[in-house]
Structure 1
Amino acid sequence: MTSIEVKADQVVLARDPRAALAEGLAAGLKKATPELAVAYDTICVRDPQSPPSLGADCLSHGITLVRPGAGFAAPVHLERFASPARLAVTDEPRLAALGGIGMLTVVVPTAMLGQALAKGRVKMPSPRSIHVQLTGRLRPFVGVRDVAFEWIRRDLAAVVKRVCAACHAPVVLEFGGPGARFLSVSERAILCAMAPRVGAWAALFPSDERTEVFLRDERRSKAHRSLVPDGGAPFEEVVSLDLGGVDPLVMTAESDETDLVSSIHPVRDLAGKPVSQVLLGGGSGVTLRELFVVATLLKSKRVPKGFDFLLAVPSRQMLEVLAEAGALADLIATGARLVEPDPRVASGALYPPPAGAGLSLSTGDLPRGGVVVSAETLAYAVATGKIGDPRAFKRPVRVTVPRALPTDDVFVHR
């Protein structure tokens, strides 16, 4: 396996910042040398077992601190810090989502994070690429989460494993094709977040006009760099998917983790099963537009009796936009409970699925016994109290997502 030494543009600490900081100090860290170093203090709901806040330890070494309440690490970083055509190293696999903006993001050992903080460079294996060709566009009531499920059902993991074994190198999924231009940066991020699940090292979309518009809306136009594959760039394999051929799907968490293909099912296979809990939001499963769609679909509806509707808005920016537009009030009127953007919410540790009741659905990750679905499928469950095909809503909703986004980083300390 060939190794190369490269510049680390960003270091993102979200899982265990203290351990990485300790490694950095051992490597001679005084001030972080990368273009950006960020630590996420993600524990919002503290108990006696929770570690103390990161506080001044990060700030004194030039590491930006994102306080609890800003949101989940992946969507917040995508909004406020991620930049195309850069390399980020991290300790959090969910940050593979940052490939949606064209930033290569890889998980590295804690010792390597310390080296990156202190020296600004890391040594890593030279990867190989699989080109993921997207054509067509999504049909109404089919979400990009369903596209991620479709790739798992088509056993993309087997393709990744085969290339890894043949080349003795990690694999990067490079998304492209005419269908990619119909996906927003946030939708692209959801697809990239799938990379660790299928065994890929990272995932990457081109940086194009969609990326430029996203950064302009975030008031970060200067961060934009164009990123497209070189003409004639070699790929180990090419796989294709027509977005227009994807149907609503679900992932059952109780399936054997070594057989991901069997965990994906058409919604109709579970149709009619009662649901007692849903979690809308989390770190990498829903976009701002989808939150508006769910609010519109559920307007004037009420949750069924005994039904628990948890709303974990991915970022404070999204929360402000929903509030200003009135969509948050609509969701709360439906019966949603607004909960903290704490990673233990997404994992089910704070609000575990109820035992012996109906199914628990989530747009993110759930522990064993839960079901992961798209935002549209979750909306159908809230409206009816059971799993069903969201195309039963029949009339597609049209929503307008505000372009003027709040960018007041009140929870960000530099």
Structure 2
Amino acid sequence: MSSASAVLKKFGPMVYLPTVMFSLGEGAVIPLIPVVASRMGADIALAALISSALVVGQLCGNLPAGWAVSRIGERFTMVIAGIVAIAAGVAMVFAASPGVLAASVFVLGFCAAAFGLARHAFMTTRVPLVFRARALSLLGGSFRLGVFIGPFVAAGLLQLFGSESAAFWFFLACLVVMVLLVLFGPDPEKTVPVPAAVWQAEDSGEAVSGSIPTIERAGVLRTMWLQRAVLGRLGIAAASLSAVRSARQVLLPLWGISLGLDASTIALVVGVSGAIDFALFYASGQVMDRFGRLWAAMPAMVLMGGGFLALSFTHDGSAAVLWFGMLAAVLGVGNGLSSGILLTLGADVAPKSEPAAFLGSWRTLTDAGGAIAPLLISGVVAAASLPVAAAVMGVVGVAGAAGFLRWIPMFVPIEKKPGDDARG
């Protein structure tokens, strides 16, 4: 069997590079969407609503993307999503009203869902099991790399050209490069066949190239019904992880503001937490492949849940700023250790005959967890206080850890026992 490094290098030009290009452009424009909306006359509430259209688009796009991938394949789904995203990017450049901008952002989120699901489905069926977690962690890391660098690129373009439109044109350029890579590069559905161990077509026993073959397609809705047990149990635990991740992005800046810190200090703390997060993305895959999924999921959830619970008791103390910095780092470690977990668990429990339809449901559920968290935090802060909101998210994290402890061994048949090693 090929080594892990050889397998991962093989996926570079067909999987990871297009992902970096898409996320790099997206990371450059996302921070500027509320700024552009405000210049169009939107108030703060409307600007926040326009920004949230991206998440809403992703939620709405996962199920149709699962249908598209199962019918026309990963490559053509990516190409179509890229072309539509280019049209949405052009509309964002020339948008003259908040309504047009919101619609364009929604379509972009829809396309992002299709792009992400196509890559997820491809990796689910093509990557050898012993390398799966590392490959998917690297996929998540490729996305994080783009999102991490994108804002710095946008800042440089703003300094150079003095207009937000420069970042949007950069996004369009990234999309064009991505579409060209996918369209004219080696077709991953042909160059990397589905291993016979993943799919057995009748009695041939040979590797199958092209789109994922099926004898009878169950469809998205029927797949959701057939897989309701895993979605309603392990899927809920996965959604809690997504919620805690999203809470980190919302709570840390709000906590810094509530402590009276200036913008540069808050940015430094959040940036250090993000850097720790990014530095650990591949370690998560190593742990999952060698020791099992639970060995990455549990520490990640315990660190993030415990970090939020501890943070909730520090707000009014004399060392509140010090605790803020320390616990932000702890949350960064927890988030970094969770890199690729949702992708890997989704691939582990996806049915072999219809993975794309299932992954559409899985990603909708996990994205919903991330979308609900900011709303939950906002409601708790309005009804009680920011420390109470942090405590609530800590409880969500601890509950999610318990869910993983209960459901991963039940639904993930390849889960290792302590001491087992899947080095391959």
TM-score normalised over the length of structure 1: 0.30
Larger strand percent: 1
Could you say which structure has the higher helix fraction? 2
Which structure would you say has the larger RCO, counting Cα contacts within 8 Å and 6 or more residues apart?
A: 2
